[in-house]
Copies of this chain bind each other. A is one copy, B any other.
């Protein structure tokens, strides 16, 4: 008899076969019990359960994946692992997936289409059971193609299809509320720091800004709009430019909190005080927004919740059900960075 090949994993690893032997049934029966593929007699079920407990058996996801079954892993395409916003979402995903026995496989695409495609291929090669794509750059059609094979949950857009579920935040409404808040405080010269026009959500926020102006009969002044890129430094530079342009304004609405932080620093450097000289409004309500001086007024976007909802939708998709998750509506958080305009 040939010597059996010795496994590379020195840790005493318990296999399904061992459970089968221990409990005196065939491996298939054990497998079926585990997967609920077929009904197993109460008696055998008991002895199998006992054997599993005794041996401390844990199914090997790798083997499962190969055998064509599930890998119990979900590919999560994010744009930046270390973004404060996505960080919270990732935690939500993890928290929701974990009790269900699924593990997230995080990859970041850095807002880059090519890299996003590579990520998806990589995840597919690792046989994930589904995808969660956070605000990707891919076209709707590309996503539909992916969803044709594997369940897919995507955030940041409206799109429907079989095996596909979209979770979208009301950025337009949020942008409207933010702007309206400033207007209600008496501001009429409200600067807007925009996000990358490639982001649909950035554009929606901008639209919300426009709508609110219009609703208040304030004429739109394009000179008050400066481009940004959703991170701190771009907010800082935007305000630098705004100030250099000599435009008059009494309030700033930044399309996200990170840019608002940058804006605050620029104002600080120019000896302008928030909110005494300029009211400042953000968007997202990052964990940090409460902990800056002054605490930032913003629109609350539930990042953690978003993660949980996306993951739970994925779980439902996997179970063949129709996801029911709906995003909470945007909520205005008025803190100390905005104040009534002094006349």
Contacts and interface: CB of A to CB of B under 8 A. Distances in A.
Interface in A251-297: 258, 261-262, 264-265, 268, 274, 287-288, 290-295
Contacts of A81: 87, 90-91, 94
A61 interface: yes
A255 B228 CA distance: 33
Nearest to A274: B293
Contact of A82 (B11, B84, B274, B295): B84
A60 B66 CA distance: 9
Contacts of A288: 84, 232, 261, 288
A172 interface: no
Interface residues of A, number: 60
B121 A58 contact: yes
A122 B149 contact: no
A111 to B, nearest CB: 13
B127 A62 contact: yes
Given A60-B125, A103-B126, A127-B62, A88 B94 contact: no
Contacts of A103: 105, 107, 122, 126
A292 B290 contact: no
A120 to B, nearest CB: 11
A222 interface: no
Contacts of A265: 290-293, 295
B287 A232 contact: yes
A10 interface: yes
Interface in A156-201: none
A87 B82 contact: yes
Contacts of A300: none
Contacts of A61: 125-126
A68 B71 CA distance: 17
A45 interface: no
A149 B291 contact: no
A82 B90 contact: yes
A274 B5 CA distance: 67
A54 interface: no
Contacts of A126: 61-62, 73, 103
Contacts of A236: 291
A338 B196 CA distance: 35
A117 interface: no
B8 A68 contact: yes
Interface in A74-92: 80-84, 87-88, 90-91
Interface of A: 5, 7-11, 58-63, 65-66, 68-69, 71, 73, 80-84, 87-88, 90-91, 94, 103-108, 121-122, 124-127, 148-149, 232, 236, 258, 261-262, 264-265, 268, 274, 287-288, 290-295, 304
14 contacts: A9-B149, A62-B62, A66-B66, A82-B87, A94-B107, A104-B106, A232-B287, A232-B290, A236-B291, A264-B291, A264-B292, A264-B293, A288-B288, A292-B292
Nearest 3 CB-CB pairings of A with B: A82-B87, A261-B291, A62-B65
